[in-house]
Amino acid sequence: MAATHEAILANLTNAQRAAVTHRDGALLVLAGPGSGKTTVVTHRMAHLIAGGVPPWQILALTFTNKAAGEMGERMAAMLPGRSTGRGGPTVATFHSFCARQLRQFAEAADLAPRYSIYDDADQRDAIKQAMKQAEVDSTNFTPSAIGAAISNAKNRLLDAHAYAAQTSGFREGCITRVYSTYEKILRANDALDFDDLLLRMVRLLRTDEQVRTQLQQRYHYLLIDEYQDTNHAQFVIAHTLAASHGNICVVGDPDQSIYGWRGADISNILEFEQQYSMAKVVPLGQNFRSTGHIVDAAAGLIEHNKRRKSKRLYTELGPGERPAVVICRDEQHEAVLVADFLRGQSEQHGVVWKEMAVLYRVNALSRVLEEALRTAEIPYVIARGTAFYDRKEIKDALAYLRVIANPNDEVCLRRIINTPSRGIGKTTLKKVELFAIDGQLRLLEALRRAGDMTGLTARAVNAITKFVQMLEGCRKAAVGEVPRALAGSEHLARLVEQVIRESGLESAYQQSPTEEDQQRLANLEELISAAAQFVAPPADEQRSELRLLDLLTAFLESVALVSDADLVDPQRGTVTLMTLHTAKGLEFSAVAMIGLEENLLPHVRAADSDNELEEERRLCFVGITRAKRRLQLSRAALRTHRGIREPTIESRFLRELPAESIVLSDQAGEGARLDDERDGAVEFPVGSIVRHPKFGLGRVESIMPRAAGVSARVAFSTGGTKTLILDFAPLERVE
DNA sequence: CTGGTCATTTTTTTT
DNA sequence: AAATGACCAG
C-alpha cells in the first residue's frame, strides 16, 4: 500500500500534493488554466482508495460526459481492477447522475420510471402548446424567451406557484400562466426537461428523508469539478449530499466561469470559504500547459475584470512565441489566414492536425472556415456532438423509440403520427384530439379507439389503426428480457432497426434518389450501430437480466444528455472547430481564435451589463489559455452578418492584451490589400524563418503596411529585432 | 391531405 | 443567408 501511495504522489508539486492528500472535510481547489486540475482530481480519488476508502463511496460530478469518462479512465489506469464498473466510484455529470437517481427512486420522486427527457426542441414544442392553451399571444412573447424565463426560475428552484408569488407585472403574469400550463403538460406526458432533472432531484432530497440519508451514507466523499459553473440547484444537491459528513471537494476557477447565462452562480465558488469556515484552500497558479507570452497575454486580459479573486498565473516553460493578432479584410480572408496558420504549424513545426483547434464565439462562424479548410485540404471536424442527434431523420427515429418507452409522451407522438406521411393530417388529428378531451383519454388511447369515433373517413381510421398496430408491435418486442451483458445491445439494435423499418422511415428514404436522402438512410444505419455499441452504465441493482425496455430507456437517456464536448475525439487526426464554450477544459498545441470584434466577442447581448461583459472576457480568457505553444487571434475589418456586409469594430479585449506579449499583423491595410499578399504575407508570413546576409537567421514577427512599402518586423537569432522594408531588404525565406 | 411557394424572422453560448 | 411558418393550389 505504501508503494501505491508513493506512486500516486510522485511528480506532483507541493500544492498539488496538498490537494491530493487532504482527506476529510471541505476542500477548495482554485485551479488556474493548465494547472493540472484533472491530475489532482484523479490522483485524489486514487489516494482516497489507496487509503482504504471503498471506491463506491466516491461520487465525482463533472460538467461533461467526456470529462467523466476521462476521469474514470485515468483512475482505472492508476488502480487497475479496482475502479471500474459496479463497486467503482461513481463518475457522472450532474444531469446524468440526477437522471439515474430519479429513475432509481422514481416512486419516491413521484415520477414514472421511464419518464422522457425533453431537449430544447421538445421543450419548445411543449411551451408552444402551453402558450396556446394558456392563451398567451406568441406575437408578444416568443416561446424561447418564455422558455428562458422558465428555465431561469427552475434554476432558482421556483416552481410556477413560487414564481407567481415572487413576481408581478404583465409579462410575468403571462409567464406564470404558461409556466403552470407547461408544468401540467410535462406531468401529463411523464416528461422532464433538463432543468427538471436538477429541480426534481433537489425536491427528492428535501422531501424524502430516507432517500436523502441513503445517498448521504453511500457517497461519503464528494468531488465537484468545474465548480464555478454550478447553478443554485446543483449547489443545493451537492451540499445536501455532503451535509452529513462535510467531505466535499470542489475544484474550479472563477476566471473560467462562462455559464452565467444558464444560471451558473459564480458566488458558489467565491463564497465557498464563508460557507465552510474550516475549508482548506489550495490555489494552483502554476500553468504547465502554455508558454510565457500566452500566459502573460491571458493574465493581462483577465486583470481587467473587477469581480474576481486575483491570483498570480505563471509558467516555467519559457517565454515561447508571442500570440499573433491578425487583422483581416473580411471573413473569407480571415478563414484563409487561419488555414495558412494551421498549415504553417503542420509544415514548419510538425504539429499534427489533432493538436490544433479553431475557436469562435458563435457557431455561425464555422461556415466560412469550413470552406477555406476544404480548399486548403486541411482535415477538420466540427465539434457538435448534438448535430447528429439533431438531424431530422434521427429525431424522428428517436421519437418512435421514445413513444415506445413512454407512451404518454405526446410531444413525440405528435411528431411521428404523420411522419412519414401516412394520411393522418391536421384535420384528422384535430378530431382525435377532441375525442380524447371528451373522453378524458390520452392521445394514444384515443387513437386506439379510432374505430369508435364518428366523423372520421374510413381511410383515416385505416391509417390510424395501422399506425397504432405498428407501435404496439414494437412495444411488444421491447418488453422481453435480455441478458445484461454486451449482448443486450444487440437486441437493442434490432429493436431500433425494427422501428426504422416498420415506421416507414426507411422506405420513405429508400424510394428517393436524392443524395441527401441517401445520406439520411446512412444516418439511420449509424443510429442502429450506435445502439449496438451502447453499454448501459452499471446499475446498483445487480440483476443479470434486464428488460429491453429499460435498456432502451438508458439508451435514450444517454442520447438526451450528450454534449458537444463529448464527441471531441482525440484519436481523430483532424483539426477541431468549436465554440469557446465547448473548448473549456481542452488544450491544443496551436489555437486560432477568430472574430475578435465588438458585438461578437464581447457579444452584442452582453453589451449593457458589466457582469455579462466580464463573462465575455472570461470566455476570451478561456480561449487564449487553450493554447500550449502557438496562438493566433484574428478579426475581420468587414463581416457579413444576416446577409449584410458591415465594417466591424475591434474587440476591446484585443486592446486589453499587454502590448509586449503579442505581435500585431495588419493584413487589411491599403498596402496589404495591394501587394502584401503577393510580396509580404504570402512570401514571408508571420512566423516564417528568414535569412538576412548581415543579421543572420530571424523570424518574422509582424507584417505592416508603411508609406515606403510593406515592412516586416524580424527578430534575429543574434538577439536584435529589426524593421525591414520587404521591397529592399535582401531577405530569403528558409522555412 | 399534400406539397409547394412566399413572407417573415433570427439562438450566443449548452446540460 | 437561412430557416421557419403561413398560406394556397392541386
**What does the DSSP assignment read for A469-525?**
HHHHHHHHHHHSEEESSTHHHHHHHHHHHHHHHHTSHHHHHHT--SHHHHHHHHHHH
Q: For strand B, give the nucleotides within 7 A of a protein CB.
A: 1-3, 9-15
**E strand or H helix at A68:** helix A65-78
Report residue A620: phi and psi, to 5°: -65, -40
A647, A635 Cβ separation under 8 angstroms: no
Mean pLDDT (chain A, rounded): 87
Q: According to the model, what pLDDT value does residue A496 have?
A: 94
Q: In the numeric block, which cell numbers belong to residue A265? A: 452562480
State the Cα–Cα distance between residues A337 and A357, nearest whole angstrom: 14
Burial A450-460 (b: 16+ CB within 10 A, else e): beebeebeeeb
Report the 10 Å Cβ neighbour count for A687.
21
Name the one residue in this structure whose C-alpha cell is 430544447. Answer: A120
Active-site pick, A226, A396, A564, A683 = A226
Q: Find the nucleotide nearest A641 (Cα to C1′).
A: C1
Tell me if residue A44 is catalytic: no
Q: For strand C, give the nucleotides within 7 A of a protein CB.
A: 1
pLDDT tens digits along A266-281: 888 888 999 998 899 9
Mean pLDDT value across residues A358-382: 92
Question: Which residues are within 7 Å of strand B by their Cβ atom?
Answer: A 63-64, 93-96, 119-120, 142, 144, 194-195, 261-262, 361-364, 385-386, 418, 421-428, 460, 561-566, 578-579, 581-582, 603, 605-606, 612, 642
A195, A186 Cβ separation under 8 angstroms: no
Q: In the numeric block, which cell numbers belong to residue A107? A: 416512486
A49, A270 Cβ separation under 8 angstroms: no
Strand ranges, E, within A32-89: 58-62
Q: Find the nucleotide nearest A619 (Cα to C1′).
A: B13
Question: Which residues are within 7 Å of strand C by their Cβ atom?
Answer: A 640, 642-643
Q: How long is the CA A422 to C1' C10 vector, in angstroms? A: 18
Reference A734, options A693, A698, A681; nearest CA is: A698
Q: According to the model, what pLDDT value does residue A65 have?
A: 87
pLDDT tens digits along A561-573: 987 777 676 677 8
The top-scoring range by mean pLDDT among A236-240, A412-416, A706-710 is: A236-240
Mean pLDDT value across residues A407-434: 87
Q: How long is the CA A365 to C1' C2 vector, in angstroms? A: 14
Tell me if residue A38 is catalytic: yes
Give the single-character DSSP code of A200.
Answer: H
Q: With pLDDT > 70 as the criterion, what percentage of chain A qualifies?
A: 91
State the Cα–Cα distance between residues A248 and A241, nearest whole angstrom: 9
Tell me if residue A225 is catalytic: yes
Mean pLDDT value across residues A709-725: 71
Q: How long is the CA A617 to C1' C9 vector, in angstroms? A: 54
Tell me if residue A639 is catalytic: no
Q: Find the nucleotide nearest A259 (Cα to C1′).
A: B13
Q: How long is the CA A455 to C1' B2 vector, in angstroms? A: 21
Written as one letter, the residue type at A636 is A
Q: Is A468 helix (H, G, I), strand (E, B) or coil?
A: helix
Q: Is A251 helix (H, G, I), strand (E, B) or coil?
A: strand
| β A721-725/A709-716 pair status | antiparallel
What would you report as the CA-atom Rg of chain A, rounded to the nearest whole angstrom?
A: 28
State the Cα–Cα distance between residues A202 and A241, nearest whole angstrom: 10
A656, A301 Cβ separation under 8 angstroms: yes
Tell me if residue A207 is catalytic: no
State the Cα–Cα distance between residues A171 and A107, nearest whole angstrom: 36
Reference A89, options A48, A41, A57, A53; nearest CA is: A57
Q: How long is the CA A426 to C1' C7 vector, in angstroms? A: 15
At CA A436, angle to CA A432 and CA A440, rounded to 5?
175
Q: How long is the CA A299 to C1' B5 vector, in angstroms? A: 55
A424, A444 Cβ separation under 8 angstroms: no
Report residue A285: phi and psi, to 5°: -105, -20
Active-site pick, A431, A626, A630, A713 = A626
Q: Is A285 helix (H, G, I), strand (E, B) or coil?
A: coil
Name the one residue in this structure whose C-alpha cell is 416507414. Answer: A504
CA A615 to chain CA centroid, nearest Å = 17
Mean pLDDT value across residues A505-533: 85
Q: Look at residue A82 and tell me whether its pLDDT is greater than 70.
A: no
Position A81 confidence tier, pLDDT thresholds 50, 70, 90: low
Q: Look at residue A678 and tell me whether its pLDDT is greater than 50.
A: no
Q: How long is the CA A155 to C1' C4 vector, in angstroms? A: 29
Position A677 confidence tier, pLDDT thresholds 50, 70, 90: very low
Q: How long is the CA A123 to C1' B7 vector, in angstroms? A: 26
Active-site pick, A125, A190, A195, A225 = A225
Reference A731, options A672, A678, A688; nearest CA is: A688
Q: According to the model, what pLDDT value does residue A680 have?
A: 47
A496, A555 Cβ separation under 8 angstroms: no
Tell me if residue A569 is catalytic: no
- The residue ranking higher by pLDDT, A586 or A698, is A586
Beta bridge partners of A64: none
Active-site pick, A21, A38, A133, A465 = A38
